[in-house]
Structure 1
Amino acid sequence: MTAFVQNLLQQMQTRFQTMSDSIITKNILFYHFVSQIYVHDITKQMGVEGTPPPPSKSGDEPKTPADST
């Protein structure tokens, strides 16, 4: 009977360890995913990716050739 219980506890320990490892791995992957999105958003807001800055509120936006006629 003791051997049966020890074997059962060992199996449970193995299963819990496997689940724990899986959860930790998924958390790490999720962290990296969220970090990349955050960095992308910050660089986009700074205009690093070539995104033009928002127009100024003073109305001194550059004129296009169609506006100058």
Structure 2
Amino acid sequence: MAESDPKTMQDHTSTMANQIIGRIDDMSGHIDDLEKNIADLMTQAGVEELEGKNKIPATPMN
């Protein structure tokens, strides 16, 4: 059977892996674009990007 041929299976697996990597690259580009757009919107709104994991602004001490 040609379908169980190791070379055919290897070719199919390689093709699938390349397609997945291509999609990941595309999604990475989309995410980068979204992050830039969000940063631009935050700048336009006068909101500073917060540092740290919790993204909660520090309360000013009076």
Higher relative contact order, structure no. (Cα contacts within 8 Å, ≥ 6 residues apart):
2
The count of residues paired between Structure 1 and Structure 2 equals 47
Aligned CA RMSD, in angstroms, stands at 2.2
Which consecutive residues of structure 1, in runs of 5 or more, have no partner in the other structure? 49-69
What is the TM-score of this pair, normalised by structure 2? 0.66
Q: Does residue 30 of structure 2 align to residue 30 of structure 1?
A: yes
Q: Does residue 5 of structure 2 align to residue 9 of structure 1?
A: no
- Deviating above 6 A after TM superposition, structure 1's stretches of 4 or more consecutive aligned residues are none
Q: Identity, % of aligned pairs?
A: 9
Structure showing greater Rg: 1
The one-letter amino acid paired with 2:27 is N
What is the TM-score of this pair, normalised by structure 1? 0.60
Which consecutive residues of structure 2, in runs of 5 or more, have no partner in the other structure? 49-62
Report what 2:44 is aligned to: 44
